[in-house]
Amino acid sequence: MAKESTFKLTYATMFNPPAELHTRFEDALAKVKASLGQEHGMIIGGQERKARQTFEDRSPINTDWLLGIFPEGSAQDAQDAVAAARQASKDWGNRPWQERLSLLRKAADLIDERIFEFGAVIALEVGKNRMEALGDAAEAADLIRYACDQIDANGGFVKKMGEDPLEGFKAVNFSVLRPYGVWLIISPFNFPAALTGGPAGAAMAAGNAIVIKPASDTPWTSRLLAECFRDAGLPDGVFNFVTGPGSTLGQALIDSPDVDGVTFTGSYDVGMHIFRSFAQGNYVRPTILEMGGKNPAIVSQHANIEDAALGIVRSAFGLQGQKCSACSRVFIEKTVYQKTLARILELTNQLGIGDPTERDVYLGPVVNKKSYQDYQDFIREIDLAGGRFLTGGKTLTDGALAKGYYCAPTVVANLPLEHPLWKQEMFLPITTITAVDSLEEAMRLANEVSYGLTAGFYGSLEESKWFFDHIQAGVTYANRPQGATTGAWPGYQPFGGWKGSGSSGKNAGGLYYTQLYMREQIQTLIQRS
């Protein structure tokens, strides 16, 4: 039994955590560390499934730490998982929605009960600091609840429509939102709990049976999530969990004609590839894509400089810049440029870097060797293009850091505005900064990218309204010290992108999201009167 907590981890308590949070996290971390290196299975049709080939899950904090061993699922496993989901989908989709919600709410409660175990695993697997790791798991639980609440609030999306005035007949019309059937969820490494659990919760609450394929860097977190679904009593086959490479296992799932819809969260390139692959089927199937970002912050001469600098640093370097919402471009009106920049550098240089499971560490390692190499390549490219490193620009290898993938938070000035790195997502702790002559110039530059995920602004009330009206992004913030471009929570800031950042135009954890997992059926029933 999980120990009863005297507080609940929520959006509010996370910013001002009580001491109990730290001791419980540390206890869980010690337990998790004592259980490293075990072999885990997939779950298909309620059964544990191993594979002939396996892969290692290692920590980016210290690559000597073997976290676990996972099956490298095959095309046959993909097919079996889809078939198991198909078989379970009929009963699940036809059940009274209240029954579905009750099981899913139980799963959300189990995530809460196990939150410190989740937090420890996420910190070790992704390299997140403890508050970010706990927040990821807490958000997963709340996203599942939010989807359930939406279905409740809309009476299961069964709505009586008008009665046709037909003489001699009674005509009753209903609009009913029904599940599609089998839904595939492919998730990224950076929010392995929330971005797996959120779509999974919405898809299943809507009545679909699902197949989950997590990122190969973070299979353990998703396995914990699958265990919450299993232990909550979801029927066999309603959720299926498979692990293995995107390029083979993931592709086999995408290529399956028996998948009715997909939610992909990840990079633009993979997302667009999935979009095109999935379109090869016989008919159009729903494709929810949540992709990258190149998120700008704009600072006006009327901004509160302290709030702006704090928000920019938090968003540029939180989770080592590996958030789709990371602030990777900063445009500052020239009269306040030097002052804002000085404060940004001061705050950046104060960030604690190291093993992110430790209490005062803000910045951990980047997720894997490829990202570590990318960081070094981008630094070289910026240097060659004449960019100036105001801070950072190097990997960190002193002492224990040599065992992990640590990169200094990097602020770049003087990168020519026509350089491609102003437009390409780097997904690393690198942000580029420039002075602008006017807010109009900043807005033009901010919008001149294929992405449109998040954006931040610091300035007067009137300017903020102007910003909301002109910026092309799905999540926008004005004058927010907690993060210029980051921060999302179901029911507060539902999350989704425009343009190359997202396909549906509706944000996860918001009012219009759960419906994406359902299709409308109009039921007209005529009786002679």
Binder among 28, 103, 205, 270 for ligand NDP (CB under 6 A): 270
> For residues 17 and 7, what is the distance between their CA atoms, to the nearest angstrom?
10
Give the DSSP H/E element, type plus range, for residue 521: strand 518-528
Q: Closest CB to ligand NDP among 207 and 474? A: 474
* Site track for ligand NDP across 224-253, x = CB under 6 A: ---------------------xxx--xx--
* Residue 380: burial class (beta carbons within 10 Å; 0-12, 13-18, 19+): exposed
DSSP 247: I
State how far the Cα of 105 lies from the Cα of 232, in Å rounded to an integer: 9
Secondary structure letter of residue 493 according to DSSP: B
* Shortest distance (Å) from residue 287 CB to ligand NDP: 12
Q: Which of these ranges, 4-12, 82-90, 441-449, 495-503, lies near ligand NDP under the rule CB under 6 A?
A: 495-503
- Contacting ligand NDP within 321-360 (CB under 6 A): 324
Min dist. Cβ of residue 370 to ligand NDP (A): 9
**Residue 128 class from Cβ within 10 Å (0-12 exposed, 13-18 middle, 19+ buried)?**
buried
Amino acid identity, position 296: P
User: Is position 216 an interface residue for ligand NDP (rule: CB under 6 A)?
Assistant: yes
Q: Are 474 and 314 in contact (CB under 8 A)?
A: no
Q: Is 189 in the site for ligand NDP (CB under 6 A)?
A: yes
Rounded Cα–Cα distance for residues 76 and 45 (Å): 14
Counting every residue written for the chain, the total comes to 529
Q: Report, in Å, the least distance between residue 111 CB and ligand NDP.
A: 19
Tokens linked to 414? 């003087």
Residues 6+ apart with CB under 8 A from 420: none
Q: Is 266 in the site for ligand NDP (CB under 6 A)?
A: yes
Is residue 513 close enough to count as binding ligand NDP by CB under 6 A? Answer: no
Is the Cβ of residue 330 or residue 341 nearer to ligand NDP in the bound state? Answer: 330
- Answer for which of 63, 74, 79, 267 binds ligand NDP (CB under 6 A) is 267
DSSP string of 308-328, one letter each residue = HHHHHHHHHHGGGG-STT-EE
376 touching ligand NDP, by CB under 6 A: no
Q: Name the residues annotated as catalytic.
A: 290, 324
Give the residue among 352, 429, 397 at the shortest CA–CA distance from 62.
397
Among 59, 89, 129, 190, binds ligand NDP (CB under 6 A): 190
Subset of 407-446 contacting ligand NDP (CB under 6 A): 425, 427
Distance of CA 460 to the CA centre of its chain: 31
Binding mask 278-297 for ligand NDP (x = CB under 6 A): ------------xxxx----
Contact letters for ligand NDP, residues 463-482 (x by CB under 6 A)? --------------------
Is the Cβ of residue 221 or residue 300 nearer to ligand NDP in the bound state?
221
- Smallest distance from the beta carbon of 398 to ligand NDP, in angstroms? 27
Decide: 399 and 158 in contact? Cβ < 8 Å. no
**Site size toward ligand NDP, by CB under 6 A:** 35
Quote the CA–CA distance of 474 and 504 in Å, as a whole number.
11
Per CB under 6 A, residues contacting ligand NDP are 186-191, 195, 213-216, 245-247, 250-251, 254, 265-267, 270, 273-274, 290-293, 324, 425, 427, 453, 495, 497, 501-502
